[in-house]
Amino acid sequence: MFYEPSEFPFTKRLEVSYGKIKEEMENLTLGRFKPWYEKDLYTNLWLVYGLYAMGNKLKDNCALCPETVKILEEVPDLTTAGFSALLPGTHIKPHEGFTKMVLRCHLGLSVPEPGTCALKVNGVERSWREGRCLIFDDTMTHEAWNKGEKPRIVLLIDFKNKKRPLPLSKKIEFSVVSRLVGVVYPFLYGTRKEKTSV
């Protein structure tokens, strides 16, 4: 399921700051990105450059993207963020996320020619646009593909889902899961971490 970006005021700031974010992303080389660890989930190559992982600031990576980090610090209830790149010929197979406690935002930064790459969530297909946000519930079955001739790169953000109020037991569960996953993610990204509030 997709949501309208206008329902989330922080998306306006992201879209207005698109140029700064894209410039910092382009100053990185793809050699700094790392393959997503679930390699049976995709064909060809899906690369990520982590900035935040379940409340953990990936300090070394963030140092190379200071303007992007400043903008991310304004996102309420941010849990995870980073650049996500689908190389040409990549297909992320249908799958579901692990918790309804967060929603996912993609800000398009580098998008191949129209009609060559898309995201499908619960049977609904949408294309990325540079400088525009897509927001969706990643616990719904979703997949993505890039049939274009250049990488598709987005700024990926997970944030707490205020549209689904949590009972206290679930809040505790989310806190525990965040900390456990936060221990693992920095190793997947291959960098040190600096704890931030979750």
What dotted CATH number matches 2-195?
2.60.120.330
Is the per-residue pLDDT at 188 higher than 80? no
Give the mean pLDDT of the chain. 86
What share of the chain in percent tops pLDDT 70?
A: 82
176: its two tokens: 């525990």
DSSP letter at 51?
Answer: E
pTM to 2 decimal places: 0.84
Helix extents (H) in 40-164: 59-63, 66-72
Rounded to an integer, what distance in angstroms lies between the CA atom of residue 112 and that of residue 171?
Answer: 39
Q: How far apart are CA 79 and CA 76, in angstroms?
A: 9
pLDDT at 142 over 60: yes
Q: Which residue has the higher pLDDT, 39 or 130?
A: 130
pLDDT at 198: 36
Q: What is the C-alpha to C-alpha distance for residues 46 and 123, in angstroms, rounded to an integer? A: 22
Name the residue type at position 175.
S
pLDDT of 192 over the 60 cut: no
Joined together, the tokens standing for residue 85 give 């790149």
pLDDT, tens digit, for every residue of 31-82?
899 998 888 888 889 999 999 998 889 999 999 999 999 999 999 999 999 9
- The pLDDT of residue 99 is 79
For the chain, the structural domain boundaries read 2-195
Lowest-confidence region among 24-28, 66-70, 100-104: 100-104
Q: What is the pLDDT confidence band of residue 164, given thresholds at 50, 70 and 90? A: low
Structure confidence at residue 168 (pLDDT): 44
